[in-house]
Amino acid sequence: MGTATAKKLDPVLEELVSIVGAGNASDAKHIRYAYSYDLSFVQPKLPDYVAMATTVEQIQEILRMANRRKIPVVPYTGGTNIGGLTIPERGGILLDLKRMNRIIDIDPLDGVAVIEPGVSHAQLASELTKLGLRFGWPVGPPSASVSSCAISHGIGGLNARYGLQSQEITSMEVVLPTGELVRVGSCAIQENAWHSTLPMPKLDGLFKGWLGSTGVVTKLGINVHPAPPLLKIFTVSCDNVADMYSYMLNLSNYEICDDITAVSWWLSQVPIPYPYKPKPDEAAEWNSYATTYSWTEKERDAREEIWQKVVSDEQKKGTSIQITHYPEEALRGRTQLPSQVVGSTKNYCKQGGAGISWPGTFTPAKKWAPVYTRWRETLIKHNLSPSVRMSMYRGVHYGMLRAMIPFNKQSAEETENARQAIVECLRVDLDEGGIPYKPPVDFAKEINARAHPGYLMLLKRVKEFLDPNDIMNPGKLGI
């Protein structure tokens, strides 16, 4: 069978070919196989077809056809998530959007960029740099999709200043599972106005955090920001997680940083040790880097003065906070973003071998210490490094708490060990009020088991309203 030139086409493939053209649709096994797995512990599953769309109209036609035939559709951009989000649960059509990679507009005056779903972080970064603009790049691979990260509540290097990627979304164009084209935000009222999702009802929420199960975002407006020239990185270390939490909380109150992040010793290594190895006694258990950008040297010095005060205050409290040097390669990797060094690449996976997954959560900051302590025990019990990161979000005292867990994917036993450890960690966090983001199906089950019945009812009702035949990335929400 294979690509469009085959003689007797499967009727679905035939229709896909008529929509996207020869060469852009396939049911060949080798083509499908490359979409059947990702970095995570999620078991590989093959889609039945792959189609590469290049226009909104093609996506509409594919979704209308899929609805008529009740075939699942899985939207795909970079395939770089670590929760198996694009691994098809029920086969169907893998809708590869990488060729929809136009940066439609960058408006420095409005501070808005309008992009298609296939635009990568590296691609957007190279264009923004030319204009002296920036965005909160995550520590994912440079080829990862800006749009997919944003609609999945991904994080980035400007979290402490501007919030999550999803909070930077200003407008959306979306193809619904039933094929209709809709817009939310200002672009819904005036075609070329992409500046805000407010003051209208925030219908963008229908498409954020749904794991691609409510529609295909075809255009996304995002805030972009002027890039101040002077970078200062505040680095401290300490002996225990409670002291680090205290420092981060204190520093975040002054709102002077773009990113306030701390990583355990294991995560500051390049690469993360796999299997677990004990931290050297002389090494601090926690390291923090906090980035701050300034327009003038005077501003930078003023920010540093505040930071010095925070450190001094923390030391007076009797905490173990010390100004320190963060490992150089890791620091570059975490501040020179997008980066080929961190993310799902060198420091995360290199020693484990192919596998990386996480309990990645939004957790109240006051729970970081107790959760980390339990995670540490659990992970070490599974012979895995407690390679944990904590990042403070903008203006709120909750943030990202996650453990990046590499594992040897060649071994089914080691993969299962990692999965079990990660799910165990997740349960601890959920019970403390944390919520996982970009969750694999295993996590969704744990979330739903704890969810308010009214929430689940509403979730189902909205999903059914938008996707009556349950064709969009079915099975991922665990409902």
Partner 1 sequence: MEWEIPSLKELEHFIWRCTACGTCKVAYDFGPPATCQPICPAGEEFGFEGNMSSKGKIAFARGILDGTLEWDDDFLEAIYKCTVCAGCQSQCQLDHKPYIPEIIEAMRRKAVEDGAGPLPLHKNLTQSLKSYNNPYQGPRRLRTDWMRQFKKEGQPIKNLNKEPAEYLYYVGCTGAFNQQARSVPVATAKIFQNLGLDFGCLGESEICCGSTAMRVGDAGEFKRVAGENLALFKKMKEERGVKTIVTSCAGCYRAIKKDYSLSSDYAQIMDGLEVIHTADLLNRMWKEGKLKFSGDLNMKVTYHDPCHTGRHLNKFQIDKEGKELWPGAYLGMSEEECLYDQPRELLQALPGVELVEMERIRGNSYCCGGGGGVMTGFGEWATKNAGKRISEGMATGADNMVSICPFCHYNLNSGAKQIGSSMKLMDLTELVVQVLEDKG
Residues interacting with partner 1, by CB under 8 A? 1-3, 23-24, 26, 28-31, 33-35, 37-39, 50, 52, 78-80, 96, 98-99, 120, 122-123, 125-126, 129-130, 141-144, 336-341, 343-346, 349-351, 353-356, 408-410
Shortest Cβ distance from residue 251 to partner 1 (Å)?
A: 26
> Measured from the CB atom, is 18 or 336 closer to partner 1?
336
- Helix, strand, coil shares of the chain, percent, nearest 5, are 35, 20, 45
> Measured from the CB atom, is 24 or 60 closer to partner 1?
24
Shortest Cβ distance from residue 172 to partner 1 (Å)?
A: 24
> Measured from the CB atom, is 294 or 320 closer to partner 1?
294
Shortest Cβ distance from residue 123 to partner 1 (Å)?
A: 5
> Measured from the CB atom, is 314 or 414 closer to partner 1?
414
**H-state helical runs in 38-158:** 56-69, 121-130, 146-151
> Measured from the CB atom, is 80 or 473 closer to partner 1?
80
Shortest Cβ distance from residue 42 to partner 1 (Å)?
A: 12
> Measured from the CB atom, is 129 or 253 closer to partner 1?
129
> Measured from the CB atom, is 246 or 351 closer to partner 1?
351
Phi and psi of 57, rounded to 5°? -60, -40
Shortest Cβ distance from residue 407 to partner 1 (Å)?
A: 11
Of 289, 252, 287, nearest in space to 163 by CA:
252
Of 102, 197, 196, nearest in space to 147 by CA:
102
Look-up of token digits 């080929």: 340
Q: Are 329 and 289 in contact (CB under 8 A)?
A: no
Token pair listed for 410: 């060649």
Amino acid, single-letter form, for residue 90: R
Shortest Cβ distance from residue 173 to partner 1 (Å)?
A: 22
> Measured from the CB atom, is 122 or 456 closer to partner 1?
122
Q: Are 359 and 436 in contact (CB under 8 A)?
A: yes
245 three-class SS: helix
Those residues with Cβ within 8 angstroms of residue 66's Cβ, 6 or more apart along the chain or in another chain: 72, 73, 92, 93, 471
Those residues with Cβ within 8 angstroms of residue 302's Cβ, 6 or more apart along the chain or in another chain: none
Look-up of token digits 């990260």: 149
Separation of alpha carbons 401 and 368, rounded Å: 7
> Measured from the CB atom, is 30 or 316 closer to partner 1?
30
175: DSSP letter: E
> Measured from the CB atom, is 1 or 457 closer to partner 1?
1
> Measured from the CB atom, is 143 or 373 closer to partner 1?
143
Rounded to a whole number of angstroms, the distance between the first and last alpha carbons of the chain is 35
Shortest Cβ distance from residue 37 to partner 1 (Å)?
A: 7
Spatial strand order of the sheet with 112-115 comes to 103-107, 112-115, 216-223, 169-175, 181-185
Shortest Cβ distance from residue 230 to partner 1 (Å)?
A: 13
Separation of alpha carbons 404 and 351, rounded Å: 13
Shortest Cβ distance from residue 247 to partner 1 (Å)?
A: 28
Those residues with Cβ within 8 angstroms of residue 172's Cβ, 6 or more apart along the chain or in another chain: 183, 184, 185, 187, 204, 207, 217, 219, 220, 221
**H-state helical runs in 11-155:** 11-20, 29-33, 56-69, 121-130, 146-151
Shortest Cβ distance from residue 419 to partner 1 (Å)?
A: 16
CA distances from 242 to 285, 369, 370 (A): 11, 5, 9
Shortest Cβ distance from residue 259 to partner 1 (Å)?
A: 16
